[in-house]
A = this chain, B = another copy of it.
Amino acid sequence: MDHPTDGSTHELDPLQRQVVDFFVDGVRVLGLPRSIGEIYGLLFISRVPLSLDDLVHRLNISKGSASQGLRMLKSLGAVREAESNGGAERRTYYEPAVELKRLVGGFIREQIRPHLESGKAKINRLAETAQQVEDSEQRQFLCDRVERLENWLRSGGRVLPIIQRILGQ
């Protein structure tokens, strides 16, 4: 009962290592944990879908890490469950989404939009507070600043769809 899904069971070969490291660095820039990069990287360079167990063994990470990592990658739309061949396979295998459009879209939806939304809410509260300041000079200054923040977020909101459009070829 062994599982050499791709021709190799343990230990990444040097090229796989290079790719995994590339993605580890990549996701760190995005503020995502290392394991996410490892998992996605290995899937990205695999010709066949891999199971959770494959990931655990090949990357030397815990089942917990692999499970949580896959969950997040799924929520980002960066991996999907592969269509099982027969119906006789109960283990699920994962394959990467490799279109930049999808990856960027998922990241924006899951990681950026929510922050923009909560940012807007905070600014609204801020505007209220600023309105209540007695001193009119000071109030004017504060309202200016708040307005500037509103503009920032508006710009952010406008730029996202454009990014998505450009990255969708």
Is A92 an interface position by the 8 A CB rule? no
Bound together, the chains give a CA A42 to CA B132 distance in angstroms of: 19
Is A12 an interface position by the 8 A CB rule? no
Tell whether, in the assembled complex, residue B22 and residue A119 are in contact, meaning their CB atoms are under 8 Å apart.
yes
Known: A15-B130, A19-B126, A100-B155. A25 touches B166 (CB 8 A): no
Q: Which of B21, B119, B142, B167 contacts A45 (CB 8 A)?
A: B142
Tell whether, in the assembled complex, residue A155 and residue B167 are in contact, meaning their CB atoms are under 8 Å apart.
yes
Q: Mark A30-50, 1 if CB is under 8 A from B, else 0.
A: 110000000000001101000
Bound together, the chains give a CA A73 to CA B165 distance in angstroms of: 31
Q: Which of B98, B123, B158, B163 contacts A148 (CB 8 A)?
A: B98
| Chain B neighbourhood of A10, CB < 8 A | none
Bound together, the chains give a CA A141 to CA B157 distance in angstroms of: 38
> What is the distance, in angstroms, from A37's C-beta to the closest C-beta of chain B?
13
**Which residue from chain B places its CB closest to the CB of A28 in the assembled complex?**
B31
**What DSSP secondary structure best describes chain A's contact surface?**
helix
Residues of A within 8 A of B (CB): 14-15, 18-19, 21-22, 25-26, 29-31, 44-45, 47, 98, 100, 111-112, 115, 118-119, 122-123, 125-126, 129-130, 133, 138, 141-142, 145, 148-149, 151-152, 155, 158-159, 162-163, 166-167
Question: What are 9 inter-chain pairs, A to B, with CB distance below 8 A?
Answer: A15-B130, A18-B126, A19-B126, A22-B119, A26-B119, A45-B142, A47-B138, A47-B141, A155-B167
